[in-house]
């Protein structure tokens, strides 16, 4: 999708379709009367063109409501699209992201290939211009995605051109930057979604490694993809225990981003404060199970097909690394994806087996893990991934994984679960969430939960029983992150959109790419 800005007068813009936003106005407290929806453009020609449907109640400006008008009087545009933002008092950048996506998704099946979206003019505090441009572009790219790679009836319905119409007086350079940023973020999220959509036979660990390497070459990231030999060399006994049952070899994907002028050792912190602090190295670790059958503790066949998306955490890390490479924050970042297939076979690990995780330092002992359930495999691959990130010098860790069904039980498919062993790091992540607009809900950690995964025969066991399953899984990871500031994202419930929304297709969501990116940029 070609994306650009226009500063021309709205009425003069020649386009297939001009989209303008409207808000559902608040009922007057004195009279109780319901005023007509408010068009978020002061342009008198636009106001006149939309007035009839705003005043007669045909268009109520509910969130993502859409009304198409043909041949609008006084406008050079062939069509005028009204897009609702919902209740005026509730409008924020998320409403705009969704509305932009809803406009795109309205056009896609209708053979309209270009649109011009009018930037909202009122509410400069709630919808600042630059942030609005970035967010609207993100939303447009998110809306443009459909998981139709393998559909032979696919008629490349992507939107060809998106123009954002901004006031002539706007800070043009700032808006251009914001627009370019929106494209990078939207495309990176869609890159992750494309990977998550791939079936298990089309995206083995090896192929995921190839896709990562190809992306890295395109955006200028350093990339290494290792397999079985390296797992043995590093004594990654937990990661290997999952991979050993599959005919497909595992892939240990390691990406590195080095900002220019930020060397190892003490440097001036980007904010100018704390010059004595060591340059942070952020470790991003993703679960990349390309198919999770459960292994010997095999899953029921209902919905087992869904377990092709068990690499969504790894894909989120790859998407975030792509955006990082292009947006160039001033912080070093390491991206690790632990990719394997969890299969039952004669070589598969068994319940009751004892595994030894990777040691933090070579020669030191690794933690011993009693395998209770081979279906709790994500924490096993992540244990070694987190340890490897720490061994490579990560000062801060974030992991993302479709880790537990228990998290879905706790939070449904609305919020993803989040855990942190450090309140300051969590506060920083929360600030990132305000920009990303993604919903993560912090769940607790605690020693009593850690006690639930103590093993009789080893240091730790890989499941803690039925209750608090998302938390005991997080405590398992905590045992490997230890005191390194760490955030764990359990995206099991939100990595796949089960019901399409006006602004997003059913299928992979690409969740966590934006939040991880913003967290990285906050260093």
Kindly list the catalytic residues.
299, 379
Calpha distance 361→301 (Å, rounded): 41
DSSP, res 308: G
- For ligand BES, which stretch binds (CB under 6 A), given 139-147, 254-262, 400-408, 503-511? 400-408
Does residue 146 bind ligand BES (CB under 6 A)? Answer: no
Is the Cβ of residue 137 or residue 445 nearer to ligand BES in the bound state?
A: 445
Give the residue ranges of DSSP H helices in 74-197.
93-107, 129-144, 172-197
- Tokens standing for 296? 């010997």
Q: Could you give the strand order of the β-sheet that contains 354-356, starting from the edge strand earlier in sequence?
A: 354-356, 368-370, 460-461
Does residue 310 bind ligand BES (CB under 6 A)? Answer: yes
123 binds, among Mn ion, ligand BES, Zn ion, none (CB under 5 to 8 A by kind): none
- For ligand BES, which stretch binds (CB under 6 A), given 46-54, 265-273, 319-327, 404-412? 404-412
CB of 5 to ligand BES, least distance (A): 40
Calpha distance 156→228 (Å, rounded): 39
The single residue among 43, 187, 292, 490 that binds Zn ion, judged by CB under 5 A, is: 292
Calpha distance 139→503 (Å, rounded): 8
Calpha distance 258→467 (Å, rounded): 42
Does residue 86 bind ligand BES (CB under 6 A)? Answer: no
CB of 487 to ligand BES, least distance (A): 19
290 binds, among ligand BES, Zn ion, Mn ion, none (CB under 5 to 8 A by kind): none
- Tokens standing for 369? 């893990």
Calpha distance 240→313 (Å, rounded): 19
CB of 289 to Zn ion, least distance (A): 5
Does residue 246 bind ligand BES (CB under 6 A)? Answer: no
DSSP, res 169: T
Does residue 406 bind ligand BES (CB under 6 A)? Answer: yes
x/- site string to Zn ion, residues 294 to 323, per CB under 5 A? ----------------x-------------
CB of 75 to ligand BES, least distance (A): 47
CB of 163 to ligand BES, least distance (A): 39
CB of 373 to Mn ion, least distance (A): 8
The single residue among 161, 373, 415, 422 that binds ligand BES, judged by CB under 6 A, is: 373
x/- site string to ligand BES, residues 472 to 511, per CB under 6 A? --------------------x-------------------
394 binds, among ligand BES, Mn ion, Zn ion, none (CB under 5 to 8 A by kind): none
Residue 122, classed as helix, strand or coil, is coil
CA dihedral 369, 373, 375, 380 (to 10 degrees): 0
Collect all residues with Cβ–Cβ distance below 8 Å to 51 and sequence separation of at least 6.
none
Is the Cβ of residue 296 or residue 325 nearer to Mn ion in the bound state?
A: 296
Q: Strand ranges (DSSP E) for 130-280?
A: 161-165, 222-226, 251-257
CB of 351 to Mn ion, least distance (A): 13
Does residue 469 bind ligand BES (CB under 6 A)? Answer: yes
Is the Cβ of residue 255 or residue 403 nearer to Zn ion in the bound state?
A: 403
Q: DSSP string of 441-483? A: EE----HHHHHTT--SSSSEES---STTHHHHHHHHHHHHHTT
Chain centre distance of CA 288: 15
Within 278-297, the residues that bind ligand BES by CB under 6 A are: 292
Calpha distance 283→79 (Å, rounded): 48
The single residue among 116, 356, 404, 425 that binds ligand BES, judged by CB under 6 A, is: 404
Collect all residues with Cβ–Cβ distance below 8 Å to 48 and sequence separation of at least 6.
73, 74
Query: Which residue is it, tokens 């800005």?
Result: 5
- For Zn ion, which stretch binds (CB under 5 A), given 161-169, 282-290, 351-359, 453-461? 282-290
Summarize as ranges the residues that interact with Mn ion (CB under 5 A): 292, 375, 377
Within 343-382, the residues that bind Zn ion by CB under 5 A are: 378
DSSP, res 486: E
């Amino acid at each position: 999708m070609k994306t650009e800005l226009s500063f021309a007068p709205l009425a003069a813009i020649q386009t297939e379709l001009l989209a303008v936003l409207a808000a559902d106005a608040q009922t007057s407290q004195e009279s109780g009367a319901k005023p007509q929806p408010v068009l978020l453009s002061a342009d008198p020609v636009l106001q006149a063109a939309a007035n009839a449907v705003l005043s007669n109640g045909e268009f109520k400006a509910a969130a993502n409501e859409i009304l198409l008008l043909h041949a609008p009087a006084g406008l050079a545009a062939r069509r005028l699209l009204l897009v609702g933002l919902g209740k005026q008092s509730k409008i924020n950048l998320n409403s705009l992201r969704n509305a932009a996506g809803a406009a795109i998704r309205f056009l896609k099946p209708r053979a309209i290939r270009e649109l011009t979206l009018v930037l909202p003019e009122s509410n400069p505090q709630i919808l600042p211009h630059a942030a609005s441009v970035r967010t609207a572009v993100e939303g447009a790219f998110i809306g443009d995605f459909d998981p139709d790679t393998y559909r032979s009836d696919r008629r490349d319905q992507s939107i060809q051109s998106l123009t954002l119409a901004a006031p002539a007086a706007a800070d043009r350079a700032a808006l251009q930057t914001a627009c370019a940023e929106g494209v990078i973020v939207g495309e990176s999220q869609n890159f992750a979604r494309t990977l998550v959509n791939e079936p298990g036979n089309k995206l083995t660990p090896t192929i995921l490694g190839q896709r990562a390497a190809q992306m890295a070459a395109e955006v200028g990231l350093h990339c290494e993809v290792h397999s079985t030999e390296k797992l043995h060399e590093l004594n990654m006994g937990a990661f290997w225990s999952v991979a050993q049952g599959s005919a497909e070899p595992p892939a240990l994907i390691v990406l590195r981003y080095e900002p220019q002028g930020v060397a190892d050792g003490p440097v001036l912190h980007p904010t100018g404060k704390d010059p004595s602090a060591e340059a942070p190295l952020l470790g991003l670790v993703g679960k990349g199970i390309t198919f999770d059958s459960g292994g010997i503790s095999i899953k029921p066949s209902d919905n087992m097909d869904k377990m092709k998306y068990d690499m969504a955490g790894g894909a989120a890390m790859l998407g975030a690394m792509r955006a990082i490479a292009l947006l160039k924050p001033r912080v070093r970042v390491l991206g690790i994806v632990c990719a394997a297939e969890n299969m039952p076979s004669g070589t598969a690990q068994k319940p009751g087996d004892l595994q030894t995780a990777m040691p933090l330092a070579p020669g030191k002992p690794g933690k011993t893990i009693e395998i209770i359930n081979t279906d709790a495999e994500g924490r096993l691959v992540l244990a070694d991934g987190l340890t490897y990130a720490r061994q490579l010098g990560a000062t801060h860790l974030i992991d993302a994984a479709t880790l537990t069904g228990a998290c879905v039980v706790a939070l449904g498919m609305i919020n993803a679960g989040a855990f942190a062993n450090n309140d300051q790091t969590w506060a920083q992540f929360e600030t990132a969430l305000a920009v990303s607009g993604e919903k993560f809900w912090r769940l607790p950690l605690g020693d009593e939960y850690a006690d639930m995964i103590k093993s009789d025969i080893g240091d730790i066991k890989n499941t803690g029983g039925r209750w608090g399953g998302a938390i005991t899984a997080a405590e398992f990871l905590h045992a490997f992150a230890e005191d390194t500031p760490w955030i764990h994202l359990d995206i099991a419930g939100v990595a796949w959109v089960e019901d399409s929304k006006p602004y997003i297709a059913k299928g992979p969501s690409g969740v966590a790419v934006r939040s991880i990116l913003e967290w990285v940029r906050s260093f």
